[in-house]
Amino acid sequence: MNPHPTHLHPNSWLVTAGRSSEPGASLNVPLVPASNFIIGGKREYSRDDGTPTWEALEELVGGLESGRAVAFASGMAAIAAVFDQLHAGAAVVLPDDCYQGVAGLVAAGAERGRWSVRRVALHDTPGWVDACRSADLVWLESPSNPLLGVADLEAICAAPRKPGAVVAVDNTFATPLNQRPLDFGATVSLQSATKFIGGHSDLLAGVATTSDEAFWHALKKSRELRGATPGTLESFLAVRGARTMALRLERSQQSAMALAERLAVHPAVELVRYPGLESHPTHATARRVLKGYGTIISFDVRGGAAAADAVCRRTGLIRHATSLGAVESTMERRAAIPGQGHLPPSLLRLSVGIEDAEDLWRDLDSALAASMP
């Protein structure tokens, strides 16, 4: 038997979770590419009953989040499964800044009359507490994408809410190593395993974790009926990538803090957003609810969108690409993406990888200097 996650530090759980302890079993989680199984045992069909590879990923993430996990084909598939639980005409509360995929899903549902939507500024804790009284789904994303606002999960999750109301937290940017929403009282915590869990830009997967048994069954049924099952190879890669997540996160966070401090005084930079900086609007909340400030930095380049685009073209070590949370550093201008009209045109989102911090700074500084008139 594997040790229970409460008996291990998260760094150790990441390494041991999902492995078999049976004599003669493979040391590493096997890749089981089976759709069906011989009738009479635990499984018959993978869409309904899962595979050992999926279950290893679910055990790993569920233990980290202090709950029970359901793995999905992508982060958006996990998110859609949460919204799938809402009744017709439900009231949804959404942050003013959140992932454009979520914003698009919510807008599409509202247009069809599936739910009504209220937007609340992430830093407005009294507004969230008030919204909890009437909401059927309180959707939080903390830190937010890409303005990196940090919500007071402790206060919001403890706020009175109507019976059956769901508090969901997209925990992708924080990771379960920096924040565990279920410990604050959230109903469900979501991870895009594409990002920090996989960590190598080579898979799509999502995980939803809850300590509510009925909600877990509902999520699993939604996955089954919608066919949003994770791929076997993707699950295998996510487990393998997660083994080093603690090391990757520690290294990248150290570099992110160093880069954020330098960017804050760079003449080509107008504004830096990083929860670890005292200048960040929600820094005090971040100090209280987060164990680490993360690896994502957002900053505005002087000179507008054209200057920001030029910075992206001129970096070499930092790749001009979307997504985040991987071993390599990536950067993109977020306002160039449809549905991000609320963002400053010159905002760049930088995901700091595990490269040497000095090499990253030379690359970034050179690109910024070339953008100045």
- The catalytic residue positions are 47, 99, 170, 195
- Report whether 10 contacts 246 (CB < 8 A): yes
Contacts of 271 (CB under 8 A, 6+ apart): 299, 300, 344
3-state SS class at 38: coil
User: Angle at Cα 356 formed by Cα 350 and Cα 359, nearest 5°?
Assistant: 75
**Helical pair 52-65 and 232-242, crossing angle rounded to 10 deg:** 40
Going by C-alpha positions, the residue among 201, 154, 167, 153 that lies closest to residue 92 is 167
**Partners of 300 in the beta sheet?**
271, 347
**HSE on the CB side for 366, CA within 13 Å?**
12
Instruction: Dig out the tokens for 354 from the structure.
Output: 């595990």
Q: How far is CA 215 from the centre of its chain?
A: 20
User: Angle at Cα 273 formed by Cα 315 and Cα 307, nearest 5°?
Assistant: 40
- Report whether 67 contacts 121 (CB < 8 A): no
Instruction: Return d(Cα 192, Cα 204) in angstroms, integer.
Output: 8
Q: If you write DSSP's letter for every residue of 329-357 in order, what string do you get?
A: -EEEEGGGSTT-TTS-TTEEEEE--SS-H
- Taken in order 362, 363, 368, 373, the sign of the CA dihedral is positive
Going by C-alpha positions, the residue among 294, 267, 300 that lies closest to residue 373 is 267
3-state SS class at 120: strand
3-state SS class at 92: strand
